[in-house]
């Protein structure tokens, strides 16, 4: 059960973020992202972990290879980073809220013990739908207290 909760939290976290273009000189020092994705002017691509900005250069470690990377801004076409996505967050909260309301409604209306005509088998006394009452054929009426 704990694994399910952890997976749910990871999916919720992913649903609340998206990768968007950023201005590296402003974004990286203010937000200290774990990873940014850099597209060079020649359209090649590199994920950079622990990025820092030094002057007009982006420095960090090539994600997955653990090799140092130094990229002058003049060679960068775009830098992307994970950013909060309020639309996705609102959608996630709405879906979870509706699901919880549906479960609550189902639980609240699942028993008809307050209905005096409810016989416990899904039919009302005297109706033709008494297939769950023992000894009564479909379509027959039973006036006993059981159905």
Range of the domain at 35: 14-86
Question: What's the domain count of the chain?
Answer: 1
Average pLDDT, the chain: 76
Any domain includes 60? yes
User: Minimal CA–CA distance to 76: which of 60, 92, 100, 64?
Assistant: 60
Structure tokens at 25: 């000189």
Any domain includes 100? no
């020649």: which residue's tokens? 42
Any domain includes 114? no
* 50, 61 contact by CB (below 8 A): yes
Any domain includes 28? yes
For residue 90, which phi and psi values (nearest 5 degrees)? -65, -40
Range 40-44 average pLDDT? 94
Q: What percent of the chain has pLDDT over 70?
A: 59
For residue range 80-135, list pLDDT tens digits in order. 998 877 676 676 677 777 777 777 788 887 765 555 555 555 555 555 554 455 55
* Residue-level pLDDT at 30: 92
Q: What percent of the chain has pLDDT over 90?
A: 37
Find the length of the chain.
Answer: 147
């Amino acid at each position: 059960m704990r694994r399910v909760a952890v997976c749910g939290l990871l999916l919720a976290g992913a649903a609340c973020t998206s990768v968007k273009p950023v201005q590296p000189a402003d974004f990286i020092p203010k937000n200290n992202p774990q990873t940014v994705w850099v597209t060079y002017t020649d359209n090649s691509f590199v994920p950079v972990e622990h990025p820092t900005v030094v002057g007009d250069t982006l420095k960090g470690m090539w994600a997955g290879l653990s090799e140092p990377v130094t990229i002058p801004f003049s060679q960068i076409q775009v830098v992307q980073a994970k950013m909060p996505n309020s639309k996705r967050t609102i959608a996630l909260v709405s879906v979870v809220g509706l699901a919880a309301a549906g479960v609550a409604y189902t639980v609240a209306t699942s028993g008809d013990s307050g209905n005096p005509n409810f016989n416990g088998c899904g039919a009302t006394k005297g109706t033709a739908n008494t297939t769950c009452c023992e000894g009564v054929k479909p379509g027959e009426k039973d006036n006993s207290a059981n159905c």
